[in-house]
Amino acid sequence: MEPSYSNPIQSVIPSCSPSVNVSCYESYYNKGYVVYDKYMECFDSWIMLPGFLLLPDELLALVFFVVLLYCFFGVAIISDIFMESIDVITEKEKIVSRKTANGDIIQFSVKYWNPTIANLTLMALGSSAPEIMLALIETILSLDAEPGKLGPSTIVGSAAFNLLAISSVCVMAIPTGETRSIEELTVFKCTSFFSIFAYIWLYIVYAVWTPDEITIIESVITFLYFPLMVFLAYECSKYDNRKAAAKREAERLEEEGESKGTEDKLKGGKDLKLSDIEESLGSGKGSKAKRRSNASVIAISMETAGGVTMSADRSRIAALLKMAGDEKVDAETASNKIYRAEAAPEVGKSWNKLKFRMNAVRGLTGQRHLAQRFQAMDSVKGNQVLPMLPEDGPGKTALGPKKGTKRVSQFMKTQYENPVFYFNSSTYAVKESEGSVKVVVRRGGPLSETCHVEYYTEDGSAESPADYLAVDGILKFGAGQEIAEIEVPIVDDDLPEADESFFVCLKAPSPESAKVLQERVEVTIIDDDMPGIFAFKQSTYTVTETADVVELDVLRKRGSTGMVRVKYETVADTALEGKEFQAAEGVLHFDQYEIRKPISINLLNEEQLYDVKQFRVKLSDAQGGATISKRTHAVVKVKPDERIDEIARRLSRLMKEKKDLLSRHKEEKEWVKQWKNQFIEACVPSGTTYLNEDGEEEPPSAMEAVMHYISISWKLIFAVVPPADLCGGWVAFYVSLLFIGMITAIVAAFAELFGCMVGLKDEITAISFVALGTSLPDTFASRQAALQCDNADAAIGNVTGSNSVNVFLGLGLPWLLASLYYNAKGEKYLVLGSDKLGFSVALFSIEAALTIGVFFLSRHPKFGGGELGGTYNQKLYKGIFFITLWVIYLVMSGMYIYGDISI
């Protein structure tokens, strides 16, 4: 039986409470009590144990500050999980049907969530959840007591930091000379208006309409501004989309007008979504499927949640093929490489701020960035490793070395397990007067062992020994040797004769596993005893639209004595000068014994080709004794490149295979295994082993390991949140939201205690420390977005929307709950001292208007041409201006709260 407890102090001094300002006591679960000589109001905290506040104030201030920072870590980590669930929710798609121009019914997937609506609702909630939950929890906990000031002040302070300080960071982050502009300008104008109006409205409520009181009408109006803003922003986004579509259509019509006779053909091409292309691959049946398979693919795209887009434009595919300058590159290799170089990187360019914020949090807590994890996972599909592209450099393109650069035969070295032999060239030519010709034989496969192959010559129109001397023998290759030569003597006579040829052949490779890939090569002996006859090597040259140059060989046959020359010029046909090809003319000079000269014609195929077009190249006015053969013209035909459509279709397949991986990180399909892995990843730095660009395992850095172990307790606690893939993300959404509420309640308690120990009022603590702590991940996220995106939407475009949501939802909902509660009791919802917050709100409203005004002014070319970046001076002036406004906001708000200034 427990002994009875009696408290002899209670008859002498009162129990501690906020209203007691003398000596008092505080009991400890009927097991004892603590006597305070002076009890301060801020000591009354639900989170503190009795007696703890007897420690020195300096030590308590340090402890509370460290705990507050640690809680900010927890808020950031659980917010990361919360935003991951939002990412999954907004990725949900539905299948819709649409009738095409030719009467076919196609189906394709679209997102349930409109990007603008998702951005202003779930995504804004994801980035502002700590501030909103802080205001809501504080309001609930302070019912029947004096309303807390921490929540509303944090919302205003966070808004000031987001718009002023983060904007300064983003402006300065852009490299000098570069700019970033808002693309969805109409939506930005809408959210900018509401971001200023929201705080003007807040001032009206606090200081004008019903000072020191929040009524139900004010609460309802505040809350209803939220759906009104979302609706208007949605209408603005529709306007932006229609305007952009009209601009694209005008450009298309203008291009069609310039191309005479192509209007009907353009109607046959269509922009295809992923599902269109899948159907064109043969998923349909009958005549409709046949028609689809003949459709020309202009562009393909696939958009996942949050604005993540994978795309590959037809013109870009053609441009890359043209840059490669290799018409023999196969569609499979090209599609894989273009996907790696073009389609997949679009994800990094198109990330919304939600993903950038997730990246920032993971960097702060020792986890790999999303882009790095995707890159590591994306290079491996099952047991197949997709080719990784090297960084572009001189002479390189997305498909490999540019035409004219030296190519290394790595393919032949690695493709075969056993030795193979082949000639270095498909044909050889030698002048009769040179005396001999050297034929190069290459070895492929492993080079570590010795091997050999027999060779011999074979007559053609040239005969041995009249024209050349037959040879035979064994060609030996030592270890590591890749090249060997066969030398064949050529007989030089003084008789004019036609060009003749013979063959060099390979046989009997050794060892037995070795193989001859090319059994013989033709060698042409060119007679050089007369001035010669000019002729094109071919009567017709055929190239694809992706070629940028066509080379025509002019040969000097039946002699090469003396110096001669011949004129050439291009002649238009169905291909037009200045449109399909660049006009060229000139004179070819042949030196003594020179037998070949190339003519290079630049091609200008910048538009999609629908049929074969041709032009001619003409030879005339031969001099120096030479003549021109009957073949005075060569025809150059430019045809559509069939590889583009095939590459586009292959790209669509690759995009579909990678869609889930690029949308969110899914290592396991079963959510039970995912849940289990969450606890494992919580204990391991970086979650899982990281693969670098070479596919090698790379341990986390020292800083990543330190940050991981600092935050490991939070990671283990939050691992109990169900995986985001469960039930479309909604389970993780609500559970993580509950955790955010719990952590923000702890943050509020320790923020008040810290302010109490250092002598700061709650309003000051909120607009400085708490606002900075909850907004720090947004700072890193916005800076990363400013650097990686080609526009300013993700960096600052979302700030205005989030600041508006903070007021309309973050204050509108708590006000509505509290006003209804007090109205049910027949009382008024009083907010005493609201004039101090009103001053802070009014000051921020003025500074917000100035900031947004500077942004719009910066769009003018004279002032930089974009909201972010510019010249060094433009960046410096804007950055200093924005950060100065934030400092002025903090200083003047603090002075007014403490009564140093008054209005």
Residue 231 has pLDDT above 80, yes or no: yes
Report residue 103's pLDDT band, with 50, 70 and 90 as the boundaries. Answer: low
Q: Are 567 and 620 in contact (CB under 8 A)?
A: yes
Of 218 and 294, more confident: 218
- How much of the chain, in percent, has pLDDT values that exceed 70? 71
Instruction: Give the closest residue to 651 by CA, choosing from 277, 269, 400.
Output: 277
* Residue 854: per-residue pLDDT: 93
Give the pair of three-digit tokens for residue 358: 């997730």
pLDDT value at residue 818: 93
Which residue from 629, 623, 475, 461 is spatially nearest to 538, judged by alpha carbons? 629
Per-residue pLDDT band at 814 (split at 50, 70, 90): very high
Share of the chain above pLDDT 90, in %: 20
Give CA–CA dist 709/712, Å, rounded: 5
315 against 706, higher pLDDT: 706
Q: Are 278 and 657 in contact (CB under 8 A)?
A: no
With 80 as the cut, is the pLDDT of residue 800 above it? Answer: yes
Residue 348 has pLDDT above 70, yes or no: no
pLDDT of residue 123: 79
pLDDT of residue 375 exceeding 50, the answer is: no
What is the bridge-based pairing of β-strands 427-431 and 520-526?
A: parallel
User: Could you write out the DSSP letters of every residue in 715-755?
Assistant: HHHHTTSPPTTGGGGHHHHHHHHHHHHHHHHHHHHHHHHHH
Read off the pLDDT of residues 34-54 as tens digits, 9 standing for 90 and up.
Answer: 887 776 766 677 787 767 877
Please list the residues that pair with 48 across neighbouring strands.
none
Q: What is the pLDDT of residue 807?
A: 92
pLDDT digits (tens, 9 = 90+) for 146-203: 888 888 999 999 999 999 999 999 999 898 888 889 888 888 999 999 999 999 999 9
Give pLDDT, residue 212: 87
For the cut 50, the answer to whether the pLDDT of residue 407 exceeds it is no
Q: What is the DSSP track for 810-849?
A: TTHHHHHHHHHHHHHTT--EE-TTHHHHHHHHHHHHHHHH
Q: Report, as an integer, the average pLDDT of 226-241.
A: 89
Whether pLDDT at 219 is above 90: yes
Per-residue model confidence (pLDDT) at position 630: 80
The 10 Å Cβ neighbour count of residue 243 is: 12
pLDDT at 863 over 70: yes
Chain segment 616-637, per-residue pLDDT in tens: 999 988 888 888 888 788 999 8
How many whole angstroms separate alpha carbon 647 and alpha carbon 235? 37
- Mean of the pLDDT values across residues 605-615? 74
Q: Give residue 679's pLDDT.
A: 85
Q: Give the largest Cα separation in the chain, rounded.
A: 138
Helix axes 122-141, 812-824, angle to 10 degrees: 30
> Which one has a higher pLDDT value, 285 or 470?
470
pLDDT of residue 86: 83
User: What is d(CA 345, CA 359) in angstroms, rounded to the nearest whole number?
Assistant: 16
Confidence of residue 266 (pLDDT cuts 50, 70, 90): very low
Whether residue 756 is predicted with pLDDT greater than 80 in this model: the reply is yes
The whole-chain average pLDDT of the chain stands at 76
The Cα 498–Cα 770 span in angstroms is 92
Report the pLDDT value the prediction gives residue 880, as an integer from 0 to 100: 94
pLDDT given at position 299: 44
Reported as a single tens digit per residue, the pLDDT across 779-798 is: 877 887 888 787 888 888 77
Residue 562 pLDDT grade (very low, low, confident, very high; cuts 50, 70, 90): confident
Q: What is the pLDDT of residue 333?
A: 62
Rounded mean pLDDT, 108-121: 75
Residues 6+ apart with CB under 8 A from 267: 101
Task: Choose the weakest-confidence range: 191-200, 451-460, 554-563.
Answer: 554-563
Whole-model pTM: value is 0.58
If one compares 229 and 265, the residue with the highest pLDDT of the two is 229
CA distances in angstroms from 250 to 4, 253, 264, 271, 837, listed in the order given: 90, 5, 17, 16, 51
Q: How far apart are CA 372 and CA 768, in angstroms?
A: 33
| Strands (DSSP E) found in 260-419 | 269-270, 296-297, 299-303, 309-313, 380-381, 384-385, 396-397, 400-401
Comparison of pLDDT for 825 and 10, the residue scoring more: 825
